[in-house]
A and B are shown apart, each in its own frame.
Chain A
C-alpha cells in the first residue's frame, strides 16, 4: 500500500539513508583477514577422527578385510565351489599326492594355506568368501535398517501427536517381540516360498543371492529397524523446535521437504554412527543363524556355517575352526571400534 509516511512514525526513512550503504572497495575487502578457514561439520568430524589412533587402525583393518573378501577371490587360483578330487581333508600347507607329482614335474602349485575341507575345496578361499557373505549381509541389512528406521522415526517425530503415539506403540510392540525366536521361525518359513518365487520370471535375482540370504534381509528389514527409528525420532523431536524449521514452514516448504532437507540432514551424524554400529550386530546375527544351519546355504559358505562344519573334525583340524572364528572376531571388533571412533568424532554429545 503506497502512501505517505506517518510523520510521527519512528520508522527509518529508507530513501534517505540508502546512500549510506555502499559496496566495499577492493582495498576494504582485502583488509578482512580470514583467521582460519571455516570448518564445516564433516571437516571438523574428520579432523577429530584422524586424531583417533584406534579408530584409524580399525578403519585400516576394515579396508583390508574388504579387499580380502571382495577383490582377492577374483584373482585367487582356486574357486570356493571347486572340488579337487584326491585332495580332501588336507592340513595346513599340505599338498595332495597328485599335486606333489605335479610339483615333481616342475609345475607350480598354489599352496592351500589352510588346507582343504572334506569335499576337497580350498579352505582359504572359503573363509574369504565366508567373510564376503557375512559382510554383504551386514552391510545390506544395515542399509535396509537405516532406510526404514530413519524414515519411520522421522515421520513419527516430525508429526508428533496422535500419529507419533500410534507409530511408537507399534515400535514398542515390535521391540518387545523376542527377535531371535521370530528370526529362526521366519528363516525356516521363508525358504520355500522364496524358492518358488525365484522361478517366476523377474525374480531370478533371488537365486543369484540365494533364497536364504533374501529371507535374512527380509527378517532384518522387518524387525531390526525399531532401534534406529527410536533414535531418529528422538533427534527429530529436538531438531524440529529449531527456528530454521519454522522459517522453512513460513516459506511454504512441504513437510516432506522439511524432513528431507532440514531434519534428516541435521541428524546425519547419528545416522552414520548408528548404521556403522548396526553392521557388526547384523553380522553377529547372521553368523548365529548360519551356525544353527538356518542362514546362508551350501555351497555358499558363511563364517558361521564354516565354524559349525569345523566342529566335526575339531580333534584333527582345529585350524578349520580357528580361521573363521578369528575372521568373525576381527570383523566385529574392527566395526565396533570404527563405530565408536565415528561416534566420538561426529557425535560428541553421545560420547559415553
Chain B
C-alpha cells in the first residue's frame, strides 16, 4: 500500500515535470515576444526590458533558471500586469474557480447518483426511458452551448438571473448548471449501468432472501458497490471542470483562473502562462492521485501493486 502511494506520487511529480518542460519549450517556439506588441519601444528599451527579465539569455539557461525558481516555489512575476507576481495572481483567481468547480462537482454527483440508481431500479419503465433520453442528450451538448443558451433564455429573455459576474448567490446558478450538466448526465449513465450490474449479482438475491429490507439492501449492498465507477470518474471530472471553466468563465466574465490563462496566451505573458499551466496541471495530477488512492480504500478487493 505505502509502496503504491509513493510510486503514484513519484509518477505525479514526473508528470508535472514533463508538463513544465513541455510548456516551457512549446511557448518559446513561438516567434515574437512579450514586448513586441507594445508601441513606441526603442530597440534599446526592448533590449533593456529583455535583459531585466532574463529573456536575452540562451533558451536553455532560461529554462534552468526557471526550473530552479520553480523548485523554490518561485513562479516569477507577470510581464504584463506590472507589480504582480504570478503566485499573487493565482492566489487571487484560483479560489473563485475552485469554489465554482467544487459546487459543480457536488451538484453533478448529487444529481447523477440518485437518478442513475432510480433509472436502474425502474429498468424498462417510463422513468427509466425519460432519464436515459435526458442523460443521452446531456452528454451531447458542449458546455459553451449550455452557457449561451441558458444566458439567452434565463437572463436575456426572461431576465430572471444576472448574466455576468459572481456577485450574488443567484449568479452562481447558471455557471453551475452549465458546468455540471455534462458530468451529471455522464454519472447518471455510469451509475445506471453499474447499478444494473450489481442488482443482478448473487449477493443481492441472498440479501433479499435472508430477509434484509429493501432499503437496507439498496443502501448497504447495492449502492456501495455500484458507486465505485463513479469514484474513478471523479479524477477526470475535476480535469473536465477545470477545462470547462475556461469557457464558462469567459462567457459569464467570472474572474477565475481559466479566464486568466486564456487571456495570457495571446499576450505572451510567459511566466503567467507557465505558472497557470503548471499550477492547474499539478492540481489535476494531485486530484487524480488522491482519487486513485481513495479508490483503494473504498474497494478493499483491489490489491494495489
Asked if A and B are interacting partners, one says yes
Which A residues fall within an 8 A CB radius of B? Answer: 172-173, 176-182, 184-186, 188-189, 192-193, 280, 284, 287-288, 291-292, 304, 307-308, 310-311, 314-315, 318, 321, 325, 328-329, 332-333, 336-337, 352
Verify A352–B280 contact, CB threshold 8 A. no
User: Which residues on B are within 8 Å of A, measured CB to CB?
Assistant: 11-12, 14-15, 18-19, 22-23, 26-27, 29-32, 136-137, 139-145, 148-149, 151-152, 156, 193, 239, 242-243, 246-247, 250-251, 261-262, 265-266, 273, 277, 280-281, 284-285, 288
* Closest-CB distance, B20 to chain A (whole angstroms): 11
Known: A181-B261, A336-B140. A176 touches B285 (CB 8 A): yes
Query: Are B262 and A292 in contact (CB-based, < 8 A)?
Result: yes
Q: CB < 8 Å: which of A177, A179, A192 contacts B15?
A: A177
- Of the candidates A321, A329, A352, the one whose C-beta lies within 8 Å of that of B148 is A321
| Chain B contacts for A291, CB-based, 8 A | 142, 144, 247
Q: Judge whether A178 and B280 touch: CB under 8 Å.
A: yes
Q: What separation, in Å, do the CA atoms of A173 and B152 have in the docked complex?
A: 40
Contacts of A321 in B (CB 8 A): 148-149, 152
A185 touches B15 (CB 8 A): no
From known contacts A178-B280, A181-B281, A337-B136, infer whether A173 and B142 are also in contact, taking CB-CB under 8 Å: no
Judge whether A325 and B148 touch: CB under 8 Å. yes
| In contact, B265 and A193 (Cβ under 8 angstroms) | no
**Contact present for A328 and B239 (CB under 8 Å):** no
Given that A188-B265, A189-B27, A288-B142 are contacting pairs, would A182 and B148 also be in contact in the complex, using a CB cutoff of 8 Å? Answer: no
Q: Assess the A193–B140 pair: CB atoms within 8 A.
A: no
The minimal Cβ–Cβ distance linking A284 to chain B, given in whole angstroms, is 6
Majority SS of interface residues in chain B? helix
Kindly list chain B residues whose C-beta atoms are within 8 Å of the C-beta of A185.
Answer: 23, 26-27, 265, 273, 277
Which residue of B is nearest A308, CB measured? Answer: B144
Pair A307/B273 contact, Cβ less than 8 Å: no
Assembly CA distance A189 to B266 (angstroms): 10
B250: chain A residues within 8 A (beta carbon): 292
- Does the CB pair A178–B148 fall under 8 Å? no
Beta-carbon contact of A318 and B152 below 8 Å:
yes
* B-chain residues with CB within 8 Å of residue A314 when the two chains form the complex: 148, 151-152, 156
Known contacts A185-B277, A288-B142, A307-B145; A180 and B246 CB within 8 A of each other: yes
Q: Is B18's CB under 8 angstroms from A177's CB?
A: yes
Cβ contacts under 8 Å, B280 to chain A: 178, 181
| Complex: A288 Cα to B265 Cα, angstroms | 16
B144 touches A178 (CB 8 A): no
B284: which of A173, A176, A318, A352 is its contact (CB, 8 Å)? A176
In the bound assembly, the distance between CA atoms of A42 and B277 in angstroms comes to 46
B15: which A residues are within 8 A, CB to CB? 172-173, 176-177
Q: How far is the CA of A163 from the CA of B228 in the complex (A)?
A: 31
In the bound complex, CA of A318 to CA of B148 (Å): 10
- Which A residues touch B156, using CB under 8 A? 314-315
